[in-house]
Structure 1
Amino acid sequence: MQTENSLLTDLKNTFRTGGMTVKLIFVNILVFIAIGILEVVSSIIGGVPGTLVLDLTDVVFALFTPIREFIVKPWGLFTSIFAHYSFIHLLLNMVFLYSVGRIFEQFFSAKRLLYTYILGGIFGGLLELIAHLILPSVGGTMVVGASGAVMAILVATAFYQPKLTVSIWGIFNMRLIYLALIFILVNLYNAGMGTKDGTAYFAHLGGALLGFLSVRNPFSMNNIINRGIRIGDGLVSVFKKRKTNSGNFRYSKEKAGATKRFKTDEEYNMEAKKRQERIDAILDKISKSGYESLTKEEKDLLFRQGNQ
């Protein structure tokens, strides 16, 4: 009993302190366990395709690519990016997520990693839907897995730091940008050839596209990830406000005559330019001497910029 409690405590501490990469891995594993439990229950009650429990698993976690099914089950666009139906699929995606996610978090915030993962998975799902709509014979009728989301993180990191070199299985070194390009080309080839091996190649390419777009002017307010963060924060704020109001009926009121001064475009652009120059200098330092060579002030600045 004490050992079990110790293990549970260790897992909680790992989840709490492990960063967003570890949190995403935990969520994927928990969803996999939930799916496994549903499958065990289904087998106990004599489950075959068409059984309520198995159908429920697909309805909740899978993205249905036939447009008629997607319209009535649109949530699969989100839930599918955390779901895996095979252990090998889960293992490969989580190993890759851990590898590239840790690198990503050296340059950007945990929140940005989360939104890149989610939006990358959604972009991948949308491209898979479009491909199936244009070419119904493409791919399968259901898609699950974090591959598109992980692809987004890989491509974002690679295109943000094209000179960054990583070790491949401890055997040889390669620039991350080359690894990303290899994955993109392989997926382009298989998607173009109509390869039918159960892999959602268009979902991978959709994730790659999001990853590329996410690092175009990454600190601009119009950046796709920054827009997503603002929308997400707004929705969370509305939800919290409703919850607070429904609980105690409190409300707040701005002080009369209070005004807020907004920056002009010229002021904003000037500050953004100076900020970007400072960030570029820090990134050059990382490329030459590694992340650990940064001062605490430089690390804090990099973190704050990634969180904007």
Structure 2
Amino acid sequence: MAHIGLINLLLIIVNIAVSYKGLKDRTFFNKYSFEVDNILVYKDYKRLISSGFLHVNWMHLLFNMFSLYAFSGLELRMGHASYLVLYVASLVGGNLLSLLIHRNHGDYSAVGASGAVCGIVFASIAVFPGMKLGFFGLPFAIPAWAYGVGYVLYSIYGVRSKKDNIGHEAHLGGALIGMLVVLCMVPEVVVTNLPTILAILLPGIFFVYIIVTRPHALLIENKYFQEHVGDYDLDDRYNLERSGQKQDLDALLEKIHKRGMKSLTKKERAMLMKYSEEV
């Protein structure tokens, strides 16, 4: 069994506690989830971090926390403080790339620690060049470099194609930032693992460059995207209009009671109008 570091253990505990609160309290969930309008229009920047400690359901939480535990060895290699900086930087990096890509999608909403976890995984790939990764149900493991290259290319394809509803942008952003941060903290890995690092970073950084300089490259339509626009996956996304209309309405009324009608976002006003017409 892997030895778990103190920071890793604390992060798992905080994720469990915050996710439990969010699953039980819809108002709490709405207040701290990632949502483009609330971040860009209302400057609620805490959501860039707080959303990473919320999860859609227990399976979502379990998968992320098991992945975090599996790479506990990185904290023992880097030290507590550096590991915590790496985790937070990866979390924010994943959300910032999501914010960049979805800046014109005001109602885009997301939760989950996947960006941070991807940062830890890819930092581990940089630090431990001989590492191999195994997967559930497979009787063999693959070299970490092959997983890293394949995952980045798959994420780029996923962001560009929009053929599924997985939050590839948060995964990619977290992975790239995680690897860049660990290079600054453990620079000697550049010598021991340079080919793998370049193979992973170069296509990812080039893709981000294209997004920034030619945003129209992401303008693509296909049948799947048209049918699923507005959906959010179980890994990073959560559509506030998809479940529990009564809970939504209760949360809106509570918000109005505490902060007034002017506190409602454009989307919340539309939801309130829709529900009032249905009553």
TM-score range normalised by the length of the shorter chain: 0.5 to 0.7
In the other structure, the counterpart of 2:234 is none
Q: Is residue 183 from structure 1 mapped to residue 151 from structure 2 by the alignment? A: yes
Q: Residues 93 and 150 of structure 1 are in contact (CA less than 8 Å); yes or no, is this contact kept in structure 2?
A: yes
Q: Residues 39 and 45 of structure 2 are in contact (CA less than 8 Å); yes or no, is this contact kept in structure 1?
A: no
1:118 pairs with one of 88, 93, 100: 88
Shift of 1:27: 0.8
In the other structure, the counterpart of 1:194 is 162
In the other structure, the counterpart of 2:105 is 136
In the other structure, the counterpart of 2:46 is 75
AA of the residue aligned to 2:182: V
Q: Which has the larger radius of gyration?
A: 1
2:183 pairs with one of 211, 216, 233: 216
CA 1:112–1:68 in 2, change beyond 3 Å: closer, same or farther? closer
Q: Is residue 145 from structure 1 mapped to residue 112 from structure 2 by the alignment? A: yes
2-side partners of 1:18 and 1:82: how far apart?
Answer: 19
1-side partners of 2:66 and 2:154: how far apart?
Answer: 19
AA of the residue aligned to 2:65: M
In the other structure, the counterpart of 1:31 is 18
SS of 1:216 mapped into structure 2: helix
2-side partners of 1:58 and 1:69: how far apart?
Answer: 16
Q: Which moves more between the two structures, 147-156 or 69-78? A: 69-78
In the other structure, the counterpart of 1:58 is 30
Shift of 1:163: 2.3
Q: Map 1:189-268; keep pairs closer than 5 Å.
A: 189-197=157-165, 199-219=166-186
2-side partners of 1:88 and 1:219: how far apart?
Answer: 33
Runs of 4+ deviating beyond 3 Å: 66-72, 166-170
In the other structure, the counterpart of 1:246 is none
Q: Residues 80 and 143 of structure 1 are in contact (CA less than 8 Å); yes or no, is this contact kept in structure 2?
A: yes
1-side partners of 2:184 and 2:28: how far apart?
Answer: 42
2-side partners of 1:160 and 1:68: how far apart?
Answer: 34
TM-score (norm 1): 0.55
1:87 pairs with one of 46, 58, 61: 58
2-side partners of 1:147 and 1:175: how far apart?
Answer: 21
The number of aligned residues is 189
In the other structure, the counterpart of 2:200 is none
Unmatched 5+ stretches in structure 1: 1-16, 39-53, 221-275, 284-308
1:157 pairs with one of 124, 130, 133: 124
Unmatched 5+ stretches in structure 2: 194-279
Shift of 1:179: 2.1
1:22 pairs with one of 2, 6, 9: 9
Shift of 1:129: 0.6
Shift of 1:22: 1.7
Please provide the CA RMSD for this pair: 2.8
AA of the residue aligned to 1:149: A
Shift of 1:168: 3.7
1:105 pairs with one of 75, 97, 102: 75
2-side partners of 1:211 and 1:71: how far apart?
Answer: 28
AA of the residue aligned to 1:180: G
Q: Residues 65 and 143 of structure 1 are in contact (CA less than 8 Å); yes or no, is this contact kept in structure 2?
A: no
Q: Residues 25 and 94 of structure 1 are in contact (CA less than 8 Å); yes or no, is this contact kept in structure 2?
A: yes
Q: Residues 67 and 129 of structure 1 are in contact (CA less than 8 Å); yes or no, is this contact kept in structure 2?
A: no
AA of the residue aligned to 2:159: A
Percent identity reads 26
CA 1:106–1:174 in 2, change beyond 3 Å: closer, same or farther? farther
1-side partners of 2:24 and 2:28: how far apart?
Answer: 12
